[in-house]
Structures are given as C-alpha cells and as structure tokens.
Amino acid sequence: MPHEGPGHAADWLAAHGHSLTFTKLFEPQPQFPSLADFDGLLILGGAMSVHDEETLPWLLAEKAFIREALRVGKITLAICLGAQLVAEALGGEVRPNHAPEIGFWTVRFSAKSLEHPLLRGWPEKAAVLHWHLDTFTVPPGAMRVGMSAATATQGFVWGDGVIGLQFHPEMTVAMVEQLMADEEHEQAEEQEFVQTAEQIRSKLKSVWKGRKLLESLLENLVAVHVKEINLLKN
C-alpha cells in the first residue's frame, strides 16, 4: 500500500549503516531484485488477502519470489500480510480470524519462544498495534511466537533467520494516523477486539513498545547474518 512503509525499521537500518531498497508492488510492473543483491528481506503489510490472486496477479510473482528467498536462506522479517505470505509459503494456512483485531492489544510471548536467538531481549508481554482480519497457522517446523486474546497465533520463527509477526511493531504515530484515515476508521464503532479512533489515539505511546521490540529483533537478525558470514569464512 502506498502509505505503508518500513517506519521504525528504516530509522534503525539507516542509523546502523544498512541500505534499504524498495519493491513497490502497488506500482505497475514491479521489479524484484536479484537474490544476490540483498542480505535480508522485509515484507510489509497491506489491506488485501493472500488469496486475492485473481484480482491482484502480482501476488503470484511475490509468492514465487518469497519462496525462492526462503529456499536460499535469506534472513526475513515479515509483518502482517507479509507474515501471512511467508506462513503460506512454508506450508501454513491463512484464513479469516474469528474476529477482526484493530488497535493496541497485548501479546503474550511464550517462554519457549523467548529462548530463541531472534527474540533475545524481548519481554514476556507487550501492548502493540494490530490491524488485521485474517490469521495463519504455525507453519510446519516453525515455533509460535505468541498470542493475544483475539488471535491464537501472533507470529512464528522458522529456523535461525526467518520471523513473521501478525502485529505491527514498525508503525510510527504518523503511520497509525494515516492508516486510520485510509481505512476510514474515524467513525468506526467499538467491538470486542476493535478500538475506536479515539481509543487508539489514547494509546499511541505504545508505538514505542513496538519500536523497542523491532529494534531488538533487527539487531538479532543482523547478528545471525554476521554469524553466517563468519561460518562461511571458516
């Protein structure tokens, strides 16, 4: 989506000397990079479903690209729709959640997942931003990261360098405001797992909790990549 971007991830990557390139799938004839041209893959969200291939044929090309990136072992961080695409590529199932989850809700991270190298430094729980209708099952061979009251699977880790998150740790305050405008959420009524625009604005300080999770995760992902390089040198 034109108004969704890497947010806090871009800030961290720039501050640590990493370059960031973009493949904008909403533009005509998007060009995917060569696998040799990047070290890590960041797959972001969108309002569409992973199953909208007939109306959005670029999804087929994106899915093929993701499968190839996973096959060659690229470190990968996938968020919301991105996590659903990676889950499907790894053999998981993407389907409608029993209820939409929109707003700042608490995710509890399992003790086992917190032992994984990518989640080193994460707390047992955090209130983070959610904006999704679909959910996914944990892919075969992956580990569930956590759960919220509305969604049984809030993420997964696969191997040492692939993680998918259903929630949005990357979003800045400005991005949340833009998302509410894009989704015409101003007049939305409160539901069991849907907060109003006013309720979301009252919790905007929680974007910094998401940012801390994301920065810790990016640091851990880069450490995994450096370790792989060192192993190759040996």
Which contiguous run of DSSP H or E holds residue 201? helix 197-202
- Catalytic annotation, pick one of 4, 101, 170, 215: 170
Among 207, 194, 217, which Cα is nearest to 131's? 194
> Is 101 designated active site?
no
116 given a catalytic annotation:
no
User: Of the listed 8, 132, 168, 185, which one is catalytic?
Assistant: 168
Instruction: Give long-range contacts, CB 8 A cutoff, 24+ apart: 180-184.
Output: 182/1, 182/3, 182/47, 183/47, 183/131
Has 88 been annotated as catalytic?
no
**Of the residues 80, 101, 130, 185, which is catalytic?**
80
Question: Which pair of structure tokens corresponds to residue 231?
Answer: 């192993």
Coil, strand or helix: which one is 208? helix
Closest among 207, 209, 189 to 199, alpha carbons compared:
189
Residues known to be catalytic: 80, 168, 170
